[in-house]
Amino acid sequence: MSKKSRRGNNEGSIYKRSDGRWVATVSVGYDFATGKPIRKYLYGKTRKEIKDKMLKALTETKDNSIVIPEKITLGEWLNRWMVSYKKNTLKPSTYESYEMFIKNHINPIIGNIPLTKLQAIVLQKFYNDKLTSGRNDKKGGLSTRTVRYLHSIIRQALGQAIKEGFLQNNPADATSPPVVKNKQMRPLTEEDLLVFLEATKDDRLFAAYLLSVTTGLRRGELLGLCWDCVDFDQELIVVQRQLLRLKSGLILDESTKSKSGKRSVTLTDDAIGELRNHRKRQIEERLLLGEVYQDNNLVFCREDGSFLGPVEFSKCFQRHLVKAGLPKVRLHDLRHTHATLLLKRGVPAKMVQERLGHSSITMTLDLYSHVMPEMARLAGESLNGLLNQKKSPAKMQGPSREQN
């Protein structure tokens, strides 16, 4: 007779062994390091005996289920929290980001502190130290954005510990994490931009640089752009993918950084022309390589069609800057250059927000506050000479009673 047939109704954890003994398995808690259940085996001579033992064990487990052992550390809890609550809810790239910050920054410093003994003052010192000397290469501190990110991870994990009854309050709530200070952007001036474009006009990736500065796409969005999202008739592109670097390598993610990141962006005449030229060159490369070519339908890729890595792309950009004798800026600063040029030309901030895929107009206004004084000046100048304009009787006539 099989084990399954010896089990009673609703007694899936009770069975009779071949030697005649009855066995019951009871889950008495979890291994906080792995998140896996801890099972206890009970033995008896009769079904009734083993059933009584099982009910007693279940009652004791229930009464003590919310008691967390003093030895459980913050690091162990973070590991369990990641596996149990975050693995299936975060994007793969975000999950790996959490893992990296926990492994490299949180656990080495405060991961060995018992969860129930973690205090706000300890977390505050951790944040302060990370700001001044938190880099792993010992060359200074982390950015305010990164420290704020660490705070967010810790606060979320401790919040879940409260929900499970392991903690009474969240010590992270009593801290003062740093206010995020955006990195100083260095957009290219219009003159420098023209020098850069002239210096790269014969480069294979010229269309990528031009598209970056005329659409404001993020690096991952640019490298994840596929030809099915380029509409030459409507003169626009649809941003719906991004190229990501994970532990497993480069992947084409069918999503964007945020919901607002999925958007349509109109193209300039120059961009359309260069994209057509780029596509023609790419077709020639594919025909030349034949079966060796990796057709991923990517707009910007290597000569053999394989993924063009973000770091590789940035290094190409930096080499062109040096060769052209221009100030060293990040590839991301082409995105800032795009936004700055639009705002200086009087394009409404709301439209700039939509082109960039920002989640809110507040983010756009905060990032480009340095352009606002010039926009205000242009707005005032646009009304100069208003009184000197020839008054048109038709325009000066008020609306009729019927129109009201």
Q: Look at residue 42 and tell me if it is in a domain.
A: yes
Domain carrying residue 151: 74-174
Using CA atoms, how far apart are residues 371 and 336, in angstroms rounded to an integer?
A: 11
Q: Look at residue 325 and tell me if it is in a domain.
A: yes
Q: Where are the beta strands (DSSP E) in 182-248?
A: 230-231, 236-239, 242-246
Question: For residues 115-145, b (16+ Cβ closer than 10 Å) or e, as one string?
Answer: bbebeeeebbebbbebbeebeeeeeeebbbe
Backbone angles phi, psi at 380, to 5 degrees: -65, -40
Query: What's the whole-model pTM score?
Result: 0.71
pLDDT digits (tens, 9 = 90+) for 86-113: 999 998 999 999 999 999 999 999 999 9
Total structural domains in the chain? 3
Instruction: Give the model's pLDDT for residue 403.
Output: 42
Using CA atoms, how far apart are residues 143 and 191, in angstroms rounded to an integer?
A: 31
DSSP, collapsed to helix, strand or coil, labels residue 237 as strand
Q: Look at residue 83 and tell me if it is in a domain.
A: yes
Q: Compare 382 and 279 and report the one with higher pLDDT.
A: 279
Q: Look at residue 398 and tell me if it is in a domain.
A: no
- Regarding whether 199 and 157 lie in a shared domain, the answer is no
> Which of 96-100, 148-152, 238-242, 244-248 comes out lowest in average pLDDT?
244-248
The CATH number of residue 209's host domain is: 1.10.443.10
> Are 116 and 66 spatial neighbours (Cβ–Cβ below 8 Å)?
no
Q: Compare 357 and 375 and report the one with higher pLDDT.
A: 357
Q: Look at residue 401 and tell me if it is in a domain.
A: no
pLDDT digits (tens, 9 = 90+) for 161-188: 988 878 889 999 999 999 988 777 889 9
- Regarding whether 50 and 80 lie in a shared domain, the answer is no
- Regarding whether 280 and 196 lie in a shared domain, the answer is yes
Q: Look at residue 246 and tell me if it is in a domain.
A: yes
The CATH number of residue 131's host domain is: 1.10.150.130
